[in-house]
Amino acid sequence: MLSLGKMLELTLADREPAQKTQMTVSGTCLRWLAHGALEVRPHADRDNGLDLLLSAGIHGNETAPIELLDELIHAIARDELQPRARLLFLFGNPEAIRRGERYIEQDVNRLFNGRHELSSGFEAMRACELERLAASFFSLEGRTRLHYDLHTAIRGSQFEQFALYPWKEGREHSRHELARLKSAGMQAVLLQSRPAITFSAYTYERLAAEAFTLELGKARPFGQNGQVNLTRLDACLRGLIEGKEAAIDATQLDGLALFNVSREIIKGTEAFRLNLPADVENFSELPAGFVLAEDADTRWVVDEQNARIIFPNPKVKNGLRAGIVIVPHAG
């Protein structure tokens, strides 16, 4: 196996490779761009025009998707997987990955779309670097752009694997991409309806990629992800990489639960209180009339029908989202 196939090992050891560019026997080119950043180019005769960005480890303790990307990189470096797509692999927050922490000082996934410019520290600098790497990768005209940002969740979920689909004014969500998510094992998709500051929102809004945040089960340490079944996602990614994707029927979305954002709960002060159990699962139902949260003189009362909660987290910093109230998609 080519030494650049050991990208995760290099990242964990905080080492640069001796060789920055290597070629497989079949002509696939691997190029080290920065810590946790590897570009893969297919042989020109095999290039099918797809630019595929695969990122994981934006939160350092979300190890299942990191391990998945590591396996794909190994397979490419061994020439077992011969790409027809141009690829960029990113391990988002190397220092947090090394420490097994969600983040060190700041949540990197709240620092995109220019938010890093309002902050300081190495994680803000890393968000800026990730934007630069993604913008450079998606700079070629006339190519298909696709980004999957892979995560695992802090808590359990009634839909174990689900996706968040960013929003941009004037741009419609793609049924073809929704059908692809279903084939990759996603059980639910949240169709967002406002700008966001996550990595996938940046590549969707600014770089014209189809982009998604994928939540793939509960966060666990390295080597303890046996309960996270990523078989369908792995097959989907290998099909995209090799240009052997099974036919997608965009008319068939049965079994894929779709939701819209009703509102976000923003923590304003240290007096904020979320009136939910600490172990509440994502997609838990919220009864109408329930006082969901309180903060100084503000109260959030559930007035939506069939409302659910995702990403409840009262420990976020003031000014950040402490939960999202969602409702079934009516379309």
Count the Cβ atoms, other than its own, within 10 Å of residue 36.
27
User: What would the pLDDT profile of 266-277 be if each residue is shown by its tens digit?
Assistant: 999 999 999 999
Catalytic status, residue 215: yes
Report which DSSP code applies to 244.
Answer: -
Cα three-residue angle 95-154-264, rounded to 5 degrees = 105
Total-model pTM: 0.94
> Does the pLDDT of residue 221 top 80, yes or no?
no
pLDDT band at 229 (very low <50, low <70, confident <90, very high): confident
Return d(Cα 125, Cα 119) in angstroms, integer: 9
- What domains can you pick out in the chain, each with its CATH number? 3-242 (3.40.630.10), 266-328 (2.40.50.630)
Please report, to the nearest 10 degrees, the dihedral formed by the alpha carbons of residues 190, 278, 229, 238 taken in order.
40
> Does the pLDDT of residue 223 top 80, yes or no?
no
> Does the pLDDT of residue 219 top 80, yes or no?
no
Range 248-266 burial, b when 16+ CB lie within 10 A, else e: eeeeeeeebbbbebbeebb
pLDDT band at 217 (very low <50, low <70, confident <90, very high): confident
Return d(Cα 43, Cα 66) in angstroms, integer: 26
User: What would the pLDDT profile of 132-182 be if each residue is shown by its tens digit?
Assistant: 999 999 999 999 999 999 999 878 899 999 999 999 999 999 999 999 999
Closest C-alpha to 256, from 279, 280, 274, 232: 232
Return d(Cα 41, Cα 76) in angstroms, integer: 11
> Does the pLDDT of residue 16 top 90, yes or no?
yes
User: How high is the pLDDT of residue 118?
Assistant: 85
> Does the pLDDT of residue 51 top 90, yes or no?
yes
Closest C-alpha to 36, from 100, 96, 101, 121: 96
Largest CA distance in the chain: 66
**Contact criterion met (CB below 8 Å) for 100 and 61:** yes
- Looking at per-residue confidence, does 73 or 221 come out higher? 73
User: What would the pLDDT profile of 112-141 be if each residue is shown by its tens digit?
Assistant: 998 898 888 999 999 999 999 999 999 999
* 310 sits in which H/E element: strand 307-310
**Contact criterion met (CB below 8 Å) for 309 and 156:** no
Closest C-alpha to 80, from 37, 23, 26, 21: 26
Mean pLDDT for the chain overall = 94
User: What would the pLDDT profile of 180-214 be if each residue is shown by its tens digit?
Assistant: 999 999 999 999 999 999 999 999 999 999 999 99
**Contact criterion met (CB below 8 Å) for 74 and 3:** no
Selecting among 215, 242, 285, 294, the annotated active-site residue is 215
User: How high is the pLDDT of residue 68?
Assistant: 96
pLDDT band at 104 (very low <50, low <70, confident <90, very high): very high
Return d(Cα 224, Cα 220) in angstroms, integer: 6
